[in-house]
Amino acid sequence: MQTAPLSTAEIRRRFLDFFAERGHTIVPSASLVSDDPTLLFTIAGMVPFVPYLTGLVPPPYPRIADSQKCIRTLDIDEVGKTPRHGTFFQMLGNWSFGDYFKKDAITFAWELLTTPEDEGGLGFDPNDLWVTVYEDDDEARGYWREVAGLPDERIQGLGKDTNYWSTGVPGPAGPCSEIFFDRGPAYGIDGGPATDDDRYVEIWNLVFMQYLRGEGTGKADFEIIGELPKKNVDTGMGLERVAFIKQGVENFYEIDEVRPVLDKAAEISGKAYGANHEDDVRMRVVADHVRSALMLMSDGVTPSNEGRGYILRRLLRRTVRAMRLLGVETATFPALFAESRDAMKATYPEVATDYDRISHLAFSEEDTFLRTLASGTTILDTAVSNTKAAGKSQLAGDTAFLLHDTYGFPIDLTLEIAEEAGLSVDRSAFDALMAEQKSKAKADARAKKRAIADLSVYSDLRGKGETVFTGYTELQTESRVLGIIVDGVSVPRASEGQVAEIILAETALYAESGGQDADQGVIVGPGYELEVLDVQKPVKGLISHTVQVTRGEVGVDDIATSVVDADYRRGARQAHSGTHIIHAALRQVLGPNAHQSGSYNKAGYLRLDFSWNQGLSPETRSEIEEISNNAIRDDLEVITRELPLDEAKALGAMALFGEKYGDVVRVVDIGGPWSRELCAGTHVSSSSEIGMINLISESSVGSTNRRVESLVGIEAFRDLAAERAIVAQLSGSLKTPREQLPERINDLVASLKAAEKKIAAFEARAVLDRVPALLEKADRAGAVRLVAENAGTLGSSDDLRLLVTTVRERLGSDPAVVALAAVVGDRPVVIVATNQAARDSGAKAGALAKGAASVLGGGGGGKDDLAQGGGSDASAIDAALTSVRSALGG
């Protein structure tokens, strides 16, 4: 009886079980939001382990195995076109940190791959497998012969550009050995992986980190300067690639975790998958991007116009675009995301438990983009009309780029609409602008990569252990100086006036994290004092104090006492606990979908971003503020405790998106379960210590996120006291009781508007009274009647425009030009108007205004019938008007 093909989840389970049985600690996947400041996302399975592989942070275990979620969008344009390109993928990996090396890594990989399925392996036929090694790595080649019995022709040696790993900067490096599956002659030419043909699919890469590389550029241009003291193994097996091979389907998009979305896209569009290549590509794009977006949002990424949010927004919009090309112009996300949720929830249950929030974000983004497409089409239609009116056949590249970059309007949609209108698009100009944008992004990434390379200065310091934070219970802690860094270099001492980084064994000073700003304070010791400018965590487990030496000299191994500014810490604790209070109040009023998506707090101030797609009414803001202050009044007990992560979540503690949590977490309860969150910040001991919350603003930070800002404690009181003083002053000035001020002010505003209307009417009448005198001054200038006069000083350009257009109308249908100048707000302004007969004779207002403005020392222009200019030299008004007469031949 034929058994069912291995599911993706089963392949994952077999991999992890295999390595658990061989002494590996199984660790959970890290978030898609990478800790590495040079990366937007976790782009490879090795990213979470870089600090261990480079020696920056001591590894917690000698051997590890995991299944890591990854996002990679560099090849986004290839999605759907090849059998293996996907933006979200899962990398199975086994890791050795100074434990086993090449032989064991090769043995493990071969054993798992070739052990029959009924014996717990993956059941690959050894005859279908090829391997590559680095061309000079005879050791690995020998192990493949010994362990796997592979013939030499199926062990191919390749160069540094493909089979050598490094971070791209000086540091660990080493040869790779890759395992490929041969799909057979029906899929391409013979010759093995060296042919770089799609017939051979890479399924596993074994990296042997054994050397230290020096400076260099590119993948191959660097030298090896020595061996590492500890040799590491980093492997990665592409789960989706193994799944599509084991499930007997043609590509990545047809496996069990992806195909349901593809089928739903086919059902909605009425298209048959497999009937048309272009439609197939679009359905694959939909299947891939919906799954990727689902996983990103489950890790707390929200759509926005920058960074990670921009990548998510691009995935969602490409999905809408693909469905549009499949003939569907209505909303499809409710159906598509539900399919992806059901396909992924067995492995990632959070996509189901958090689906209300995820779907709210996705559906709102789709609605917004459908409206964007409508407005973008209007902008494009105008550009098409203007292009045609100018007698051109090509739409400008900068117009296409503006639509793409500013409005999120896809270039392929621009091409399609332009083609329907009989126009082409200047792709070379568009591509040049895109290349310029990408070049800037790459330069920024390279700069960040160089910056992270400098983190190696912390390696030895981190090797001495984690910095102990004592500030939860102490405001002053005696310790010793472990290290001093000046300008990125470790030094033995820092002198008066210098700015340096100080690493202590213990510290009471809070490092900026979890939305809470760093503490203020000092570090003191025998004969020296240091003003603390900032406190950060440059690498996991290490706290660095940026200081200025204000007195004396500090050296490594000196005794050092960290002293927290008590007033500042009190304010910071109030603000952080206040953030939790407002978050709980928001959820009480708006519901569980109003989930915190970011925060910042410091002494006296807090801001909180939350997922929501519409502004809060004044009544809602007042309700949230009242609930928050009632919680403060009720003097709720604040309890902090450390618990295993799973136990904390079981208690209902909220994990905030974008935050990283270890196996043991700190839970902060305010009023028991009323507010229960995972948080490493500092907090008050009871809610009454917060004092007061005063919401000062509520605003948008994107189509699906809002922001509230609040003053806290004494700062909240001072703000309200200032408002009280203003109200008292108004009440006294207007001789009106406080409660009647709004009505009194409204009456005054209404009276002022009525008076302004009357004044405007009088001024307009006064302006128009000048028309007869101007008409009398009309004379000939070439083929037209011309009125060119200095109107003196006027209140606004609108007055001058009214005068010009009225005179033009009174001059009748014969060719006529009116050019009037005036001083408006201490600056000269000239306005020129022409009638149709004058324009037919060649008189253009825009050109005349531009010439006059240049005489005034400025610039101007406009349409052929009405144009305006200005300058800085009011004494040149008569000369400017003369230039108009001269231009007309007068």
Strands (E), 248-398: 394-395
Mean pLDDT of 248-262: 93
Residue-averaged pLDDT of the chain: 89
Considering the domain architecture, whether residues 240 and 125 belong to the same structural domain is answered as yes
Q: Which residue in 185, 211, 242 sits closest to 67, CA to CA?
A: 242
pLDDT of 251 above 90: no
Mean pLDDT of 783-796: 89
- What is the token pair recorded at 839? 């324009």
pLDDT band of residue 406 (cuts 50, 70, 90) is low
Model pLDDT, residue 447:
46
Report in angstroms the alpha-carbon separations of 886 from 575, 851, 890: 70, 10, 5
- Of 190, 220, 254, the residue that ends a domain is 254
Q: Which residue in 175, 114, 188 sits closest to 150, CA to CA?
A: 114
Judge whether 554 and 525 are in contact, CB under 8 Å: yes
Residue, of 90 and 35, whose pLDDT is higher: 90
pLDDT of 805 above 80: yes
DSSP calls for 725-788:
HHHHHHHHHHT--GGGHHHHHHHHHHHHHHHHHHHHHHHHHHHHTTHHHHHHT-EEETTEEEEE
In terms of residues, how long is the chain?
A: 890
Number of domains making up the chain: 6
pLDDT of 372 above 80: no
Asked if residue 404 belongs to a known ligand binding site, the reply is: no
Q: Which residue in 112, 144, 133 sits closest to 205, CA to CA?
A: 133
Considering the domain architecture, whether residues 276 and 404 belong to the same structural domain is answered as yes
Query: Cα(884)–Cα(861) distance, rounded to whole angstroms?
Result: 13
pLDDT band of residue 223 (cuts 50, 70, 90) is confident
Any bridge partners for residue 493, and if so which? 555
| Most confident among 36-45, 436-445, 539-548 (mean pLDDT) | 539-548
Q: Please, which residues have CB within 8 angstroms of residue 50's CB and are 6 or more apart in sequence?
A: 36, 56, 167
Q: For residue 808, give the CATH number of its domain.
A: 3.10.310.40
Model pLDDT, residue 428:
84
Q: Report the DSSP pairing between strands 129-134 and 171-182.
A: antiparallel
Task: Determine the 3-state secondary structure of 829 from DSSP.
Answer: strand
Q: Which residue has the tokens 């257009």?
A: 805
Considering the domain architecture, whether residues 478 and 558 belong to the same structural domain is answered as yes
Residue 804, domain extent: 770-887
Considering the domain architecture, whether residues 114 and 229 belong to the same structural domain is answered as yes
pLDDT of 572 above 90: yes
Model pLDDT, residue 769:
85
pTM over 0.75: no
Report in angstroms the alpha-carbon separations of 679 from 271, 282, 708: 49, 43, 20
Q: For residue 686, give the CATH number of its domain.
A: 3.30.980.10
pLDDT of 113 above 70: yes
Model pLDDT, residue 443:
55
Question: Helix, strand, coil proportions of the chain in percent (round to 5)?
Answer: 45, 25, 30
Mean pLDDT of 181-194: 92
Considering the domain architecture, whether residues 797 and 873 belong to the same structural domain is answered as yes
Mean pLDDT of 487-500: 91
Query: Cα(152)–Cα(137) distance, rounded to whole angstroms?
Result: 14
- What is the token pair recorded at 616? 């809060």
Considering the domain architecture, whether residues 29 and 168 belong to the same structural domain is answered as yes
pLDDT digits (tens, 9 = 90+) for 51-63: 888 778 888 899 9
Task: Determine the 3-state secondary structure of 535 from DSSP.
Answer: strand
Neighbours of 870 (CB within 10 A): 20
Judge whether 301 and 88 are in contact, CB under 8 Å: no
Query: Cα(779)–Cα(116) distance, rounded to whole angstroms?
Result: 103
Q: Is residue 330 part of a domain?
A: yes
- Of 539, 563, 587, the residue that ends a domain is 563
Residue 371: half-sphere exposure toward Cβ, Cα within 13 Å? 6
Asked if residue 277 belongs to a known ligand binding site, the reply is: no
Query: Cα(93)–Cα(68) distance, rounded to whole angstroms?
Result: 8
* 558 backbone φψ class: left, alpha, beta (φ>0; ψ -120 to 50): beta
pLDDT digits (tens, 9 = 90+) for 523-564: 999 999 999 999 999 888 899 999 999 999 999 999 999 999
Mean pLDDT of 621-627: 96
Task: Determine the 3-state secondary structure of 280 from DSSP.
Answer: helix
Query: Cα(834)–Cα(841) distance, rounded to whole angstroms?
Result: 11
Strands (E), 18-114: 25-26, 63-71, 88-97
Considering the domain architecture, whether residues 538 and 583 belong to the same structural domain is answered as no
- What is the token pair recorded at 151? 């013939």
Model pLDDT, residue 2:
53
- What is the token pair recorded at 422? 């009989």
pLDDT digits (tens, 9 = 90+) for 124-152: 999 999 999 999 999 999 999 999 999 99
Helix axes 8-20, 239-246, angle to 10 degrees: 120
Judge whether 163 and 132 are in contact, CB under 8 Å: yes
Considering the domain architecture, whether residues 660 and 753 belong to the same structural domain is answered as no
pLDDT of 445 above 70: no
Q: Is residue 227 part of a domain?
A: yes
Q: Which residue has the tokens 């000046």?
A: 486
pLDDT band of residue 397 (cuts 50, 70, 90) is confident
Q: Is residue 451 part of a domain?
A: no
Considering the domain architecture, whether residues 834 and 872 belong to the same structural domain is answered as yes
Report in angstroms the alpha-carbon separations of 608 from 461, 575, 636, 701, 824: 35, 11, 21, 11, 46
Q: Is residue 247 part of a domain?
A: yes
Judge whether 617 and 590 are in contact, CB under 8 Å: no
- What is the token pair recorded at 93? 């990996």
pLDDT band of residue 825 (cuts 50, 70, 90) is confident
Considering the domain architecture, whether residues 790 and 686 belong to the same structural domain is answered as no
Asked if residue 24 belongs to a known ligand binding site, the reply is: no
Judge whether 335 and 268 are in contact, CB under 8 Å: yes
Query: Cα(169)–Cα(452) distance, rounded to whole angstroms?
Result: 10
Q: For residue 551, give the CATH number of its domain.
A: 2.40.30.130
Considering the domain architecture, whether residues 485 and 592 belong to the same structural domain is answered as no
| Most confident among 188-197, 557-566, 735-744 (mean pLDDT) | 557-566
Judge whether 471 and 545 are in contact, CB under 8 Å: no
Q: Is residue 210 part of a domain?
A: yes
Neighbours of 347 (CB within 10 A): 18
Q: Which residue in 600, 618, 608 sits closest to 584, CA to CA?
A: 608
Neighbours of 675 (CB within 10 A): 25
Q: Is residue 728 part of a domain?
A: no
Q: Is residue 870 part of a domain?
A: yes
Asked if residue 545 belongs to a known ligand binding site, the reply is: no
Query: Cα(647)–Cα(383) distance, rounded to whole angstroms?
Result: 59
Query: Cα(749)–Cα(743) distance, rounded to whole angstroms?
Result: 10
| Rg, C-alpha atoms of the chain | 35
pLDDT of 452 above 50: no
Q: Is residue 139 part of a domain?
A: yes
pLDDT band of residue 216 (cuts 50, 70, 90) is confident
- Of 238, 254, 270, the residue that ends a domain is 254
Judge whether 316 and 366 are in contact, CB under 8 Å: yes
Q: Which residue has the tokens 């231009």?
A: 887
Residue, of 400 and 109, whose pLDDT is higher: 109
Q: For residue 176, give the CATH number of its domain.
A: 3.30.930.10
Query: Cα(817)–Cα(177) distance, rounded to whole angstroms?
Result: 82
Model pLDDT, residue 454:
60
pLDDT digits (tens, 9 = 90+) for 646-700: 888 888 777 665 455 667 889 999 999 999 999 999 999 999 999 999 999 999 8
Cα-to-chain-centroid distance, residue 726: 41
Model pLDDT, residue 450:
40
Q: Which residue has the tokens 């030419």?
A: 189
Considering the domain architecture, whether residues 494 and 634 belong to the same structural domain is answered as no
